[in-house]
Structure 1
Amino acid sequence: MNRAVVYQAASVALSYPDEQVLGLAGLISRALVESAPQAAASFAPLLHWWETTPAVEVQRTYVDVFDLSKRHALYLSYWTDGDTRRRGMVLADFKQRYRDAGLVLGDGGELPDHLPLVLEYARHRPDDGADLLQSYRASLELIRIALAERGSPYAGVVAAVCATLPGRSPEDRAQAMAMAAQGPPSESVGLDPYDPRLLPLEPTGGR
C-alpha cells in the first residue's frame, strides 16, 4: 500500500466538499485503485455518494457531521486534551513540526491538528506522518467509530487511514475509550505560544 497516496486522498476527502474537492472524485478513485487497492474499497462508498448526490446536500451533510457535532470533531488533540490550557502547547507543537519539515502554513483557517491538514503533512512525510497519526490513534479510532455509528460514508476514509498504522483497530467504542484512557501523547514542548490564527499547511515553493 502506498501510504502517501492514502493520506493525500483522505486529506482531500475529509475536507469541505466544495466544487473543486467534489470534482476530484474520479482522480481519487483511480489513484487508489492503482496504488492502494485495499484502501480504494474503503473510499468507494463516499466517492459513490459524492457522484450520486447533489452538491448542496453533500455540503449540508458535511457541515452537520463535522462542524455542528463535537461527536465527529476532526481536531485530533480535542479528543486527548479537550479545551484545556495544555492543548495550546500541543497545537504549537503541531505547528513547529510542520516548520521543521520545511513546510509553511497557508490561508485556510483551520487549527494545525485538523485531520485533513495532518494528513496533508503525512503525505509529504509518510514515516513521520504515520508516527504522528499513531500517537493520536485513540482520536482517530473514536472518530471512525462515531462516523460508523452514524452510518456515514466518511467512516471508511478514516478506517483506511487507521489501516496504514501498526496494530489492530479496536472493535468498539469501549475498546477505543480504553485506548484513550491510557493518556495523551507524551508531554509537548512547543517552542511557540498558542496562536489562534494557525492556518493550514502548504509545501514550501508551492505544489
Structure 2
Amino acid sequence: MDRSMKALSLVLSYPGEELQHAMPEISAVFAADTRLTGLTRRGLRDLCDMLATGDIYDLQEAYVGLFDRSRTLSLNLFEHVHGESRDRGGAMVSLLETYRAAGFEPATSELPDHLPVLLEFLSTRPAEEANEILADAAHILEALRQRLERRESAYAAAFETLGQLAGARPDDTALAGLLAEPEVDPFDLEALDRVWEESEVTFGPDPNAGCPQVRDMLSRMEAPVSVPLAHGHAAE
C-alpha cells in the first residue's frame, strides 16, 4: 500500500475529530516519504499542523467554503471534465463498476469521482499504475493547486504532492482551459446560483461515455483489491 496516497486521501476528506487525532501519524508518513522534495514536505507539515490544532468548526467551515461551494475547486474530478452533462453520468457509472470489479466498495456518501475516494483506491494499486492514473488528471490537479495557492490555502501542498507523485507535466492547453473558468466567491450566494444553474446530471447507461483521459484512467484499473475504509462527510 502507498501510505502517502492513503494519507492524502484522508487529509483531503471533510475534517472531523477522528482525523485530528490521526494527524501526528499522517504527518509522520509524509515526513518519511523520500519521493517528495523538502519544500513539499514542509508544506504538508504546515497542512497537518493546521488540521491537528485548528478549531474543528473553523476547519469544517473552511473546507466547505473551498471544496463544496466553489465549483472550480470541486474535489469531484469529473465535474472539471464534464460539468453536469450526461457524459459525466456515464463516466461515473463506469468508475463505480471499476471499483466493484476490483473488490472495492466505497463506504461513503460521496460520488465515485470524489478525489479522496479515488486516492484511497489508488493507494492499493501498483505504483506505476497509480501514478499513470494521476498523470491523466494532471491538468485538473495543477489547476486546483494554483487556485488554492492564490487563496493562500494550506491545502495547496496536497496537490503539489500529487503532482510530484504523478511525475507528469500537465497538458498546457487543458490546464489553460480550466484556469480560464471564472472563480466565484463561495459566500456570494446569488453568483453561486447562477453558476450551478445547468442541466441536472443524468447517470446514463453508457459506460464508455466521457473524454479519452477518463477512458484511459479506467482502463488501467484491473486487478482485484479490497480496502474497507470509509470516506466522506455526513450532511450537517
TM-score normalised to structure 2 length: 0.70
5 Å-filtered alignment, 1:15-54, equals: 15-36=13-34, 38=37, 39-54=40-55
Unaligned ranges ≥5, structure 1 = 190-202
5 Å-filtered alignment, 1:47-126, equals: 47-106=48-107, 108-125=108-125, 126=127
Q: Does the CA-based 8 Å contact 2:67-2:74 persist in structure 1? A: yes
| Distance of 1:22 and 1:187 partners within structure 2 | 33
5 Å-filtered alignment, 1:168-207, equals: 168=169, 176-177=175-176, 184-186=211-213, 188=215, 204=226, 206=228
Aligned residue for 2:222? none
Corresponding pairs, count: 188
Query: Residue 127 and residue 28 in structure 1: after superposition, are their counterparts in 2 closer, same or farther (change >3 A)?
Result: same
Structure 1 runs of 4+ aligned residues shifted over 6 Å read none
| Distance of 1:49 and 1:18 partners within structure 2 | 13
Q: Does the CA-based 8 Å contact 1:89-1:188 persist in structure 2? A: no
| Distance of 1:136 and 1:56 partners within structure 2 | 31
Shift of 1:139: 1.3
Query: Residue 180 and residue 34 in structure 1: after superposition, are their counterparts in 2 closer, same or farther (change >3 A)?
Result: same
Q: Does the CA-based 8 Å contact 2:135-2:170 persist in structure 1? A: no
Q: Which amino acid aligns with 1:110?
A: E
TM-score normalised to structure 1 length: 0.79
RMSD of aligned residue pairs (Cα, Å): 2.8
Q: Deviations over 1:101-127 (max 9, x none)?
A: 221232x11111100001001101143
Q: What SS does the corresponding residue of 2:165 show, helix, strand or coil? A: coil
Query: Residue 10 and residue 179 in structure 1: after superposition, are their counterparts in 2 closer, same or farther (change >3 A)?
Result: same
Q: What SS does the corresponding residue of 1:47 show, helix, strand or coil? A: helix
Q: Which amino acid aligns with 1:44?
A: R
Query: Residue 67 and residue 205 in structure 1: after superposition, are their counterparts in 2 closer, same or farther (change >3 A)?
Result: closer
Q: Deviations over 1:22-80 (max 9, x none)?
A: 11110011112223453532311211212332111111111111111112100111111
Q: Which moved more, 1:135-144 or 1:153-162?
A: 135-144
Q: Which amino acid aligns with 2:176?
A: M
Identity %: 27
| Distance of 1:153 and 1:184 partners within structure 2 | 31
Unaligned ranges ≥5, structure 2 = 181-209, 217-224, 230-236
Q: Does the CA-based 8 Å contact 2:139-2:170 persist in structure 1? A: no
| Distance of 2:66 and 2:214 partners within structure 1 | 30
